[in-house]
Amino acid sequence: MIKIIDIHCHLTFEQYNADREQVVAGAKKVLKAVVTSGVEPGDARLALELSERHEGFVFATLGLHPIHVAGLTGQEVGEYAEFVSENRRRIVGIGEVGLDYHWVRDPLKVKKTKEVFVEFLGLAKELGLPVVLHLRGSGSGSGSGTSSGALEEGLKTLLDEDIKKGKAVFHCFTGKPQLAERICEEGYFVSLPASIVRSKTMKKVAKRIPLSSLLTETDAPYLSPVEVEGEGAE
């Protein structure tokens, strides 16, 4: 059996509080490694703890998910960025960071989210680390989770901020095949969750992505390949 790497999951989330170590033990049987994403300051600390407890199997990225940006002051964001920088040697990337027009719609919150996104892209460049992108929604207030608006804006921002080839992954990509091709042409990676087995559209997207640009993830505890009410993915 070929063991793959789960490049994006959330082992720190409360859904795993009761059986986190069992989940990791199970993952070790079928995966080569997993990357757990710290999405806010408290979560980030647990991500680092897990990566140390399971050194060589669990790796960590640290970022600031767009839904958490509005709840932090500018000073708190700065202090967190400093914390991330101080732990450079303990992480393998920055993220997840980005734009979320599905949940973040207030104009002032959107503005702050964009500013923090650019700030963390700068941090990734400064530290020489790849960035994991969360880009969701159209930006029109429609709440669409599959529109390419945030994805296109995110790609433009990467190029504007001079993020180098091979230094960004579009996590949980939900856009159109043509956009996936553009992203790959720019030298970035596209990651698809296991839930694509439930989507004809995303299967078509997967066929258009070169294997050299395609990464795998679960986004666990979300996006399970099998939809079971009340149960998360592993």
- The upper half-sphere exposure of residue 112, i.e. CA atoms within 13 Å in the direction of its Cβ, equals 19
Mean pLDDT, rounded, for 98-115: 96
64-213, superfamily in CATH?
Metal-dependent hydrolases (3.20.20.140)
pLDDT exceeds 50 at position 142 = no
Give start and end residues of each alpha helix (H) in 62-219. 66-69, 74-86, 107-127, 149-160, 177-185, 200-208
- Looking at residue 233, its pLDDT comes to 56
Among all chains, which residue has been given the structure tokens 């994805």? 151
Q: What is the pTM of this model?
A: 0.91
pLDDT exceeds 90 at position 19 = yes
- Looking at residue 230, its pLDDT comes to 47
174 near 134, Cβ under 8 Å?
A: no
pLDDT digits (tens, 9 = 90+) for 20-34: 999 999 999 999 999
- Looking at residue 139, its pLDDT comes to 63
> Which has the closest alpha carbon to 202: 152, 133, 146?
146
Please enumerate, as own/partner, the contacts of 180-189 that have beta carbons within 8 Å and a separation of 24 or more: 180/205, 180/208, 180/209, 181/208, 181/209, 182/155, 183/155, 183/213, 184/209, 184/210, 184/213, 186/155, 186/158, 186/159, 188/155, 188/158, 188/163, 188/213, 189/213, 189/214, 189/215
Tell me how far CA of residue 202 lies from CA of 102, 194, 208, in angstroms.
19, 10, 10
